[in-house]
Structures are given as C-alpha cells and as structure tokens.
Amino acid sequence: MQTPKRNFFKTGIIHFMAFPETIGGEGPVVETVKRIVTDDYFDAISVSWIKDSGARRDVGKMFAQSQMTVAYGAHPRLLSQGLNLNHLEKAERVKALATLKEGVDEALEIGASSFVFLSGKWEEATQEDSYKALVESTLELCEYAKSQGDLEMVHENFDQDIDKASLIGPTPLAVRYAEEVRKSFPGFGLLVDLSHIPLIGESPREALLPVKDLLATVDIGNCVKADPSLPRYGDTHPCFGYPNGENDVPELVEFLQVLLDIRFLNENNPPVVSFEVRPGEGEDSEVTIANSKRTLNAAWARVD
C-alpha cells in the first residue's frame, strides 16, 4: 500500500504491556507514558489503572496536550485480583463490578474516550449460566459508565482453553454477546486481537468478518502456541517474529488485508490499531517497540 497508513488508521500501543513494570498501577508510569506521547509514530495509547492521584493528574495533562486518542484497559484490575465479571456467585460479580466502576472513573479523569475489559473464566458445564451473568454485569457496567460521562465500552475476546480461559471467547459467542448488549447500549463494541486469533483457533477472516459491524478497535501482536513447554507459551505477547511464535509480517499482512476488505480501516474515520507486545525477561521495552514498528511498516507496504 503506497498510501500512508495514517490515512487509514491511528497507530496505538498498550502502554502497560510495553512497559510491564507499570502493570500494577505503580512504577514509572509518568515517565514511560511520556516516552510514547512524545513519539509521533503513535496517535493512540491505552493505559490502565494509575494508583497515585498525582501521576494520574500528570498523565491526564499530557494527554490533553498531546492530541492522542486515549483508551483505558481494565484487564490488570481484574486479572491481578482474580476477579470474574461472570462469576456465578453474585457477591463475586459485585467485587468485579466495583473495581471496573473505579476504572471508569479513572478513565474519565485522565481523558480516555474508550474503556476495554474482558469476561471472566469459562467452564463448559456452566457456559450458559456464566453467559447470562456476564450480560447482566455488562449492562450494569455500561449503565454506570453512561451515567458518568461519554465513554465507549469495549469487550476484548480471549481464548477459552489455553491461557486466559475467558468466557468470550470464540467469535460466534462474542457476536451473540455484543448483539445482546447493543439492544440496550448501541455503542457497545468488540476488540479483536491478532495475538489471540491462533489461541482461539480461528483465522483472521473467521474472527473478523462476523464482527465487522460490531468492531470497535483491534490489537496486533504475537503469541506462542506450538508447545506448552516453550518459555513464552500462551498469551504472553512476545515480539513479532519470536521463535516458535505464530505471527510475523505475513500474518499481519493477512490481518490488515481483511480489515481493509471489510472497510474497518478507512480514510473517512480511521480507527485505532494498537500494538500489544510485552518484553520478556532480559528484553528491552524500546527494542520491542522498535520491532513492532518495523513489522507494521513492512506489512503495510505489502497490503493491496
């Protein structure tokens, strides 16, 4: 593609994955956010909880000045505390909702325009009951967000049986879920991550075509599925081209091509496409980010 990719989408990055020392809501949040905000390769950023009020204020000021699109990823709030939005015990769902509502408040405080979360654990025997519980929780969360401000609510699909073991999940169930929530909240959307597609066992077309009218944003990254004994096995988001990984330039070309074919990538209202990559032990965040940029540049040059 000769047309600059910025014409078709905003390039973003998941801050708390690129700098995993901040995933707990502490550490060098302000400094690392600034490294992304001052890099004009990026038009968007996704951050998560920031426990210090002063750091939230500083980050919010940077976002207000930068003209970047800002998303809030609530995953660390849930995963680090073992919380489950579709737990069959209502008391446990209330705990998950409480931290997500706090996240909504934080997202609005720092100027985020979207809020991304994930479903809780999947068990085949209780899938339908868990699904009903998830819909109930989601409707309550969306109602709360609507009462607080203007925030697009987005659910990210994960695998059911390799790593995150999330209820949502395979694309058919994700479509059912999103369409049901949209009956009450028409702006509700889905996030599809290239990293998760091999773990779910789908192809880019299988993952994207059925959700083309439900898709809010996408992430791009890598995963390792070949052998459970491998050090980065599962949903660990190694860099593109990682040994025994599933995604590199050819897979990203295919993913981007499908996104163009369904007109998700477009010149009228460019969406956000974010790197979700995480340096491993002994690896450097800056090198991991540079790897991502080169991979996307190479892939974009090859799409039609």
Cα separation, 51 vs 81, in Å, equals 15
Write out the DSSP string of 38-79. Answer: T-TT-SEEEE-----HHHHHHHHHHHHHHT-EEEEE-HHHHH
pLDDT the model gives residue 129: 97
From first to last of the 304 residues of the chain, give the pLDDT tens digit: 889 999 999 999 999 999 999 999 999 999 999 999 999 999 999 999 999 999 999 999 999 999 999 999 999 999 999 999 999 999 999 999 999 999 999 999 999 999 999 999 999 899 999 999 999 999 999 999 999 999 999 999 999 989 889 999 999 999 999 999 999 999 999 999 999 999 999 999 999 999 999 999 999 999 999 999 998 999 999 999 999 999 999 999 999 999 999 999 999 999 999 999 999 999 999 999 999 999 999 999 999 8
What whole-number distance in Å separates Cα of residue 170 and Cα of residue 160?
8
Instruction: Give the rounded distance of the alpha carbon of 161 from its chain centre.
Output: 19
| pLDDT of 89 | 96
Task: Detail the DSSP E strand segments found in 120-224.
Answer: 152-156, 189-193, 215-220
Helix then strand count (H, E) for the chain reads 11, 8
pTM: 0.96
Evaluated on CA atoms 246, 252, 253, 256, the torsion sign reads positive
Q: What separation in angstroms does the CA of 202 have from each of 197, 199, 208, 209, 241?
A: 5, 8, 10, 11, 20
Task: Give pLDDT, residue 1.
Answer: 83
Q: What is the CA radius of gyration of the chain?
A: 18
Walk me through the domains of the chain, giving residue ranges and CATH numbers.
5-300 (3.20.20.150)
Bond into 120 cis (ω within 30): no
Which H or E run contains 117? strand 114-117
Q: Decide: helix, strand or coil at residue 202.
A: coil
